[in-house]
Amino acid sequence: MFTEETPTNLILPGDTLSIPVATAKNTTIKAGPGLAHIPPDTIIPVTAGELNVDERKRMIWVERDGKRVRIFCLHLTLPPQNFNKLTLCARKYTPHLHDPVIAIINRSAADFYHCTIPHSPSTTALLPHLAFENATKKTRPQLNPGSVVYARISLASKHMDPELECFDAATGKAGGFGELKSGMLFDVSLGMARRLLDGKKLRQLKIRQGAVKGDGETGKKVKGGMSSGSEVVEELGQRLAFEIAVGRNGKVWVDSEDVKTTLCVGRCIVESRFLTGEEQRRLVREKIKEFGL
């Protein structure tokens, strides 16, 4: 459904922005990822990507998608060194405080699990043995190498390895974080992961068939040609029962009672990357028919 045409609103670091948000008195515009504010009222991009505007939330941000930046760089015929830098920064995930991520256990040490955060340049992330809900030395989870966990970034610094925790620090409860048993992992772009998390605050959710309904903004597009990110999950939730966890690092975990449903949900989310809300709903209906569900 998506053709590799040249994107029309991709920007480069330092470009002058013409922000298409109505400027009313006493209103605030939120500058999201990829933008920097220079007082008093100047906003400049600091990464290459696609400029998106959500007028309802009065927010602007830059989607850093490696494939679309690559197309744009080819169109501009940039020098190879610039091309490589731009496409690399568009694909990697940089840990930020409180981000939910999906990580993989490498090994266990005396007090920590050593983990890998996929799509991140950080070689190792540390998960304390007691960073789980009501965990003690006797009751803490026993995780083996290769186990998958849904965690939150509790420490992020360019001078140190990131640290993780598998509970909500505000409540002390698990809050959907913890070990992800069975299921399958799917790769999505960092921009798609951000839209999924912003759209429904998806942590680890058990979605019953028919339990998910639209919120009045169904099918709403943000300027930039992308949907708000929630339509595909809403449509799947109307027709299928499954569990889902979305990591800000571009990983989505899906589990259900049968493999066909898991594959169908994962394929729909992956392939809805560049689709509008209505196109996402059409894709879900086609995939459900294709898988015979």
Q: What is the pLDDT of residue 277?
A: 81
Confidence (pLDDT) at 216: 34
* pLDDT reported for residue 70: 46
Which residue's entry shows tokens 């298409």? 20
What is residue 274's predicted lDDT score, i.e. its pLDDT? 77
Q: Give the Cα separation of 156 and 246 in Å (integer).
A: 19
- The pLDDT, as a whole number, for residue 38 is 80
User: pLDDT in tens for each of the 293 residues of the chain?
Assistant: 334 444 457 778 888 776 655 555 556 777 777 788 887 777 888 877 777 777 776 777 777 654 444 444 444 444 444 434 443 344 678 888 888 999 999 999 888 999 999 988 877 899 999 889 888 888 888 999 999 999 999 998 888 889 999 988 778 888 889 999 989 999 988 878 888 887 444 555 555 555 554 433 333 333 334 455 678 888 888 888 899 999 988 899 999 989 999 999 999 999 887 788 888 889 999 999 998 88
pLDDT, residue 226, reads 46
Distance between CA 31 and CA 174 in Å, rounded?
A: 31
Look at residue 229 in the predicted model and tell me its pLDDT. 63
Pair 32, 59: CB distance under 8 Å:
yes
Q: What is the pLDDT of residue 210?
A: 52
Looking at residue 47, its pLDDT comes to: 78
226 contact partners, CB below 8 Å, separation of at least 6:
50, 52, 63, 191, 195, 274, 276
